[in-house]
Structure 1
Amino acid sequence: MKTLYLVRHAKSDKTITGISDFERPLNDRGLRDAPAMAKILAKKVNSPDLILSSPAVRALTTAQLFAEPLNYKAEKIQQCAEIYEAGVSTLLKTINEIDDRNNCVVMFGHNPGLTDLFNYLTDNDLINLPTSGIVKIDFDLDSWKLVSHGIGISTYIDYPKKV
């Protein structure tokens, strides 16, 4: 059994000028929502085997805010450049390359990629995974290499406004 949690980065600050999209930090709401959602997720998963994150500031900061409540050392977060601005095929390739010793993985990234990936893997029709939103997908598989279209089972969806 493999379990994948997809977490969209927390709300970012779009008011700052003179920086790239990649460099955008979290805003005050994001800095509140991420730790709150991390505590909720920590009740479901204690110490994932692997945390993967886009290296974009807003995604990596979100992953770092989740790490401690999940009993995961922030310095062990694997930054994966391919996650930033990735579509389904790139995200799927990243998942297929996960070492099979990792059974529970949390991936931090961006929309529309994460919403599209969730729908692709589970045959759901989620319109939008909100910022700080979390989805859980279970795969009745022994290898990440076998993850493909429609074989995931969605077992959990949560986001700040739902809480």
Structure 2
Amino acid sequence: MTATVRGTVVRRAAVLPVLLAAVAALTACGSPVDEGPKLELSGAATTLQLRPSFYGATLADGTGHTLYQFDADRGGSPTCADACANAWRPYIATGEPTSTDGNKNSLDDAQIGTVTRADGRQQVSYAGHPLYYFSGDAAPGDPDRVDDIRGAGLVQYGGTWNAVSGSGAAVKPNGAVVAPS
């Protein structure tokens, strides 16, 4: 019985270097992955804009990252915390949120505000909805690709996530939602 256990340990130990080499090879090839915006954009102005996306005009921060609302947030109170906030990062205000949209008729400045999170930080809101980033989104860029708005229509953490229109309404996908790989 002891020989079998040792044999198993030896086999596992022999596989470990192979696995480590495979991980190193995968890490070394390819380009770096954009993990999306960080939880807080320190030093960045807290701004909102509308930008074209795969699903139409959607709300974004000043750098063009898509922002989402969570239908489980009721009464303007953010409910996404802990593991949820790692996947759906709150847009934390670093100052008074404003519109940077060139077309002043597309965003209603009176709808821009903040809500207080359980940890005391101020989260940017629009039309009463706390705003979040999706960690699975690619960098902003091509409005005709779904890569920069992967979170639209996903059902996670007890609710549905949608991009936001200039009126504050949910921008829902036109077809089936494919979870990011």
Structure 1 length normalisation: TM-score? Answer: 0.29
* Higher radius of gyration, 1 or 2: 2
- Tell me: higher relative CO, structure 1 or 2? Use CA pairs within 8 A at least 6 residues apart: 1
Task: Write 1 or 2 for the structure with the bigger share of helix.
Answer: 1
Task: Write 1 or 2 for the structure with the bigger share of strand.
Answer: 2
Structure 2 length normalisation: TM-score? Answer: 0.27
